[in-house]
Amino acid sequence: MIRLENVNKSFGDLKVLNDISITFESGKTNLIIGQSGSGKTVLLKSIIGLHDVDNGAIFYNDRNFTELNHKGKKEIRKEMGMVFQGGALFDSLNVEENVRFPLDMFSTMSEKEKSKRVAFCLDRVNIQNANHLYPAEISGGMQKRVAIARAIALNPKYLFCDEPNSGLDPVTAIVIDNLIQEITKEFDMTTIINTHDMNSVMEIGEKILFISKGYKAWEGNKDQIFNTENQALNDFVFASDLFKNIKKST
């Protein structure tokens, strides 16, 4: 579980996050949605500690991340897995080495155990016969799946995904979404996904935080989103004719 209490963040005079409070539950896919520039990436980066918040608190279960020293934050970071927008696989390492990397850095496993774990993670994301290929040699969808495999290698308690299906075709995007949801339930992780993809929202939005102009504008789930009275959310979700028609038909 990750809990945010009155999180604020500014860059100079520009206030990007205003009093954001929410609880992201474990075993659920939690989505942060909002227009480009609404502050969702800053929020995600603040939660994982890439940005220091101005004030407010971020709790990982009962541990206040914002008040921890460098060593304490490092310990929590070992419990995190992250899937970046572009995958962020290490160019100089092949698929197998990328997934093995966190194990080499932080586990006390033997080489045999590491190989077994790598094979399990790659198998879990349906990657076969690509162990020795480099990131530049595989497709965008495969890169995302390898990134997920790397993120789960150390059995993280918290999984963060920044636009996990951007740049992917709709079929592959759904495969990635479902994979993240399955893994979240399987390992009982607290998963936070940053997205503006409405297919993802409707597919895996078990808990949704809608941010507008740096404020928390709405909180709910994919079923509630259809009946919301929130104008900003309606404008965002039902921007396309397709979704307008779906809403009318329901």
Partner 1 sequence: MNLFEHVGKFSRFLLLVLSKPEKGKLFFSQIVKEIHKLGINSIGIVVIISLFMGAVISLQTAYNMLNPLLPDYLVGYTTRESMLLEFSSTIVGLILAGKVGSNIASEIGSMRVTEQIDALEIMGINSANHLILPKIVAAIFINPFLYVLSVFVGILGGLSAGYLTGTVPISEFIYGIQYGFIPYYITYSLIKTVVFAFIITAVPSYYGYYVKGGALEVGKASTKAVVNSSILILLANVILTQILLK
Give the residues lining the site for partner 1 (CB under 8 A).
48, 50, 73-75, 77-78, 80, 82, 84-86, 88-91, 102, 104-106, 160
Nearer to partner 1 by Cβ, of 104 and 235: the residue is 104
3-state secondary structure the chain: CEEEEEEEEEECCEEEEEEEEEEECCCCEEEEECCCCCCHHHHHHHHCCCCCCCEEEEEECCEEHHHCCHHHHHHHHCCEEEEECCECCCCCCCHHHHHHHHHHHHCCCCHHHHHHHHHHHHHHCCCCCCCCCCHHHCCHHHHHHHHHHHHHCCCCCEEEEECCCCCCCHHHHHHHHHHHHHHHHHHCCEEEEEECCHHHHHHHCCEEEEEECCEEEEEECCCHHHHCCCHHHHHHHCCCHHHHHHHHHC
Nearer to partner 1 by Cβ, of 60 and 160: the residue is 160
Nearer to partner 1 by Cβ, of 144 and 216: the residue is 144
Whole-number minimum distance, CB 205 to partner 1, in Å? 24
Whole-number minimum distance, CB 66 to partner 1, in Å? 16
Whole-number minimum distance, CB 105 to partner 1, in Å? 6
Nearer to partner 1 by Cβ, of 150 and 207: the residue is 150
Whole-number minimum distance, CB 164 to partner 1, in Å? 13
Whole-number minimum distance, CB 22 to partner 1, in Å? 21
Nearer to partner 1 by Cβ, of 78 and 244: the residue is 78
The number of residues making up the chain comes to 250
Whole-number minimum distance, CB 76 to partner 1, in Å? 8
Nearer to partner 1 by Cβ, of 135 and 205: the residue is 135
